[in-house]
Amino acid sequence: MPAPTTTIPTLVSTTVMAGDVPGAVAFYVEQFGFAVRLDIGWFVTLHHDERPYEMCVVERGHDSVPEAFRTAPAGVIVGFLVDDVDAVVERLVAAGTTIVEPTRDEPWGQRHCYVTDPAGTLIDVVQLTQPDPAWLAANGLG
């Protein structure tokens, strides 16, 4: 039975918390092509003209954030699928972005690199590649 339409989200958005909202916003604008849609200082909505998604940045210590969650980010990975991970990582390194794990190829069909944004949010920059046929077969996917 399908879910009632009142429970279907009209938009899914990721909100990252930051101590330095302008710094985090600049990172996403400069490195991933987002544009500012709304900026009220402690909360900024970012969108992308070419893609149907948005991100938000909120001041980590703002009253709207539950007190127990006003800590450095953990347990979340924001993923960005790109056409050329090496070009993106080269640009990120040139901008001084922290590289957590260097670019590597995975047998399931990804070339990716882990970085952090200025607030410490873990980001997985991913390019799709051809999966290894042996890996696919070993995992019942070949």
pLDDT at 52: 80
- 131 vs 137: CA distance, rounded Å: 10
* pTM score of the predicted model: 0.86
Mean model confidence pLDDT for the chain: 92
Quick: pLDDT tens for 14-69. Answer: 999 999 999 999 999 999 999 999 999 999 999 988 788 889 999 999 999 999 98
Do residues 131 and 82 share a domain? yes
Helices vs strands, H then E, count in the chain = 3, 8
Identify the CATH number of the domain in which residue 109 sits: 3.30.720.110
Show the domain range for 35.
14-62
Structural domain count, the chain: 2
Q: Residue 85 has what DSSP assignment?
A: H
Q: Could you read off the pLDDT of 80-130 as tens digits, one per residue? A: 999 999 999 999 999 999 999 999 999 999 999 999 999 999 999 999 999
Are 101 and 82 contained in the same domain? Answer: yes
Same domain? For 118 and 78 the reply is yes
